[in-house]
């Protein structure tokens, strides 16, 4: 056995330490926290790093706590319950800080990272059930649930009563369910009035959020933590105003919808046709009267098209883009990050204000470096804890163009 001290947490939930100066990634089913003394076994050795499995925790961290869920360690959901919630937030902030420093280097001054969090239990509205349960970690075996402390109250009540497990729809191989007190309508049964299943007669969810009604298909993507979404929306839309707003990777339009009344026109680019149709419905149902332009295409396609048009129709590319100038950009890419073509378009068109939301801090750090190199300054950065008790984190960066237009 090899003795090692865990030094810091890294993205994904593992910790790293050093053995004879060589970096060692330390993984454990029970989790590892910085400062813990461990006995480990090397399970993979590479030129620049090793991977180790924990055999014994010799000295535990004062931040270690007993997981509160009886399914912890089996269910593939939470993987961070072994740390107190306050310490989880500190670890995630440090992980985001490390990624930004590594990516940005001397590219620009780093703003202080702010933490935005909400309830750490009864927060999750959206679930994907498999054959009536949740998949085990790193396995296709099913964990049968009688409760989930992270599920919102309407769903948790049904889990505890057994009524949800009795619904035949959940005996299918895969089923998406959305539940929330903010839900308008739901299934016909009184006990299930705050739940929509993908196999319901109408798998459309409509929720009341921050004074607006939002509709979406339960089978499509939508945020799972309504508490955090309510907190995040004002952070994205604060001080956004002008003539034209671009919502890139806009989904159902939920982000731009709350800023639209401060603009004459909004352009939404989204590759999923059904999501975009909901965006149009949401604008219409909420009485948003600005001009709405929608494009069903990948962000890279839209960016290439507009870059090409700019070069063809004007001898001065910058002058052409000025006629299509957006006063602000909201961008929320998939986990893979902002496409290169979209970055190129932003660098050429230079919208003065950007709100950049991301579900992957590593690709976010990479993309922010590109934007800083294009002349932008990061004025605010927030770590958004949409998924407490997991290593997952989201982040929001506010940027302004500080270079020469």
State the catalytic residues.
359
Are residues 369 and 104 in contact, defined by beta-carbon separation less than 8 angstroms?
yes
Q: What is the CA radius of gyration of the chain?
A: 23
3-state SS assignment for residue 175: strand
Q: Which residue has the tokens 């975009």?
A: 276
Are residues 224 and 125 in contact, defined by beta-carbon separation less than 8 angstroms?
yes
End-to-end CA distance of the chain: 60
Q: State the alpha helices, DSSP H only, in 82-221.
A: 85-104, 153-161, 163-166
Q: Cα dihedral sign for 295, 393, 282, 157?
A: positive
* Rounded distance between C-alpha atoms, residue 8 and residue 349, angstroms: 40
Residue 147 CB neighbours (<10 A): 12
Residue 87 CB neighbours (<10 A): 19
Residue 231 CB neighbours (<10 A): 17
Residue 355 phi/psi, 5° resolution? -115, 110
* Rounded distance between C-alpha atoms, residue 365 and residue 353, angstroms: 18
305: nearest Cα among 214, 81, 234, 296:
296
Q: Which residue has the tokens 């508490």?
A: 227
The DSSP string of 282-344 is HHHHTT--SEEEEEES-HHHHHHHHHHHHHHH-SSHHHHHHHT--SEEEE---TT-S-HHHHH
Count helices and strands in the chain by DSSP H and E runs: 10, 21
Residue 314 phi/psi, 5° resolution? -145, 135
């Amino acid at each position: 056995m090899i003795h090692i001290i865990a030094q810091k947490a890294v993205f994904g939930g593992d910790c790293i330490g050093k053995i004879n100066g060589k970096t060692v990634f330390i993984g454990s089913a029970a989790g590892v926290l910085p400062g813990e003394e461990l006995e480990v076994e090397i399970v993979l050795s590479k030129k620049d790093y090793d991977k180790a499995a924990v055999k014994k925790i010799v000295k535990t961290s004062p931040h270690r706590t007993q997981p509160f869920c009886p399914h912890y360690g089996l269910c593939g959901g939470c993987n961070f319950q072994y740390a107190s919630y306050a310490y989880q937030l500190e670890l995630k902030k440090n992980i985001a800080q490390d990624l930004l420093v590594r990516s940005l280097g001397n590219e620009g001054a780093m703003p202080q990272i702010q933490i935005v969090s909400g309830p750490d239990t009864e927060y999750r509205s959206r679930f994907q059930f498999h054959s009536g349960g949740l998949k085990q970690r790193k396995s296709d075996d099913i964990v049968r649930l009688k409760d989930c402390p992270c599920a919102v109250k309407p769903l948790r009540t049904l889990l505890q009563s057994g009524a949800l497990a009795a619904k035949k729809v959940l005996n299918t191989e895969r089923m998406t369910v959305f539940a929330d007190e903010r839900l308008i309508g739901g299934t016909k049964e009184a006990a299930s009035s705050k739940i929509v299943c993908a196999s319901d007669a109408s798998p459309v969810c409509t929720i009341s959020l921050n004074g607006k009604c939002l509709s979406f298909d339960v089978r499509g993507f939508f945020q799972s933590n309504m508490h955090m979404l309510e907190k995040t929306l004002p952070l994205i839309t604060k001080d956004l105003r002008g003539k034209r707003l671009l919502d890139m990777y806009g989904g159902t339009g939920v982000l731009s919808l709350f800023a639209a009344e401060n603009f004459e026109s909004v352009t939404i680019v989204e590759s999923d046709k059904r999501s975009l149709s909901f965006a149009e419905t949401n604008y219409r149902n909420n009485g948003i009267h600005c001009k709405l332009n929608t494009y069903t295409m990948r962000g890279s396609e839209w960016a290439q098209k507009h870059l090409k048009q700019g070069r063809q129709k004007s001898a001065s590319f910058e002058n052409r883009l000025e006629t299509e100038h957006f006063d602000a950009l909201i961008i929320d890419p998939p986990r893979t990050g902002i496409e290169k073509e979209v970055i190129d378009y932003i660098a050429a068109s230079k919208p003065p204000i950007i709100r950049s939301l991301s579900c992957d801090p590593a690709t976010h750090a990479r993309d922010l470096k590109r934007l800083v190199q294009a002349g932008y300054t990061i004025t605010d950065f927030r770590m958004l804890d949409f998924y407490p008790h997991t290593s997952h984190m989201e982040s929001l960066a506010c940027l302004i163009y500080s270079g020469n237009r």
